[in-house]
Amino acid sequence: MLYNRAANVRQLLQKVQVLMQEIEADPALHEHRKLLEFYRQHIQILTNYLDQLERHGTNWLETESAPHR
């Protein structure tokens, strides 16, 4: 189930990246480049997190989200 959710999020991130490329190609929206770069950085962070989830599986997720004592 975790992998299905990760795959769904990854697909959504890919769609967002395509939309961002279309926005960047529009000269009328050039003034929003800084905002797009902000989004791009956060998409990269989410993508890296998904990569880690897929590499390490559920045990890694449970350990990372467990409260530290």
Does the predicted model carry a pTM greater than 0.85? no
Query: In Å, how far are 18, 37, 48, 50 from 54, measured between CA atoms?
Result: 23, 26, 10, 6
Distance, in Å, from the CA atom of 9 to the CA atom of 6, rounded to the nearest integer, reads: 5
Residue 69 domain-assigned (yes or no): no
Residue 66 domain-assigned (yes or no): no
Domain limits for position 19: 2-57
Number of domains the chain contains: 1
Residue 14 domain-assigned (yes or no): yes
Q: What tens digit of pLDDT does each residue of 7-54 get?
A: 788 888 888 888 888 888 888 877 877 888 888 899 899 888 888 887
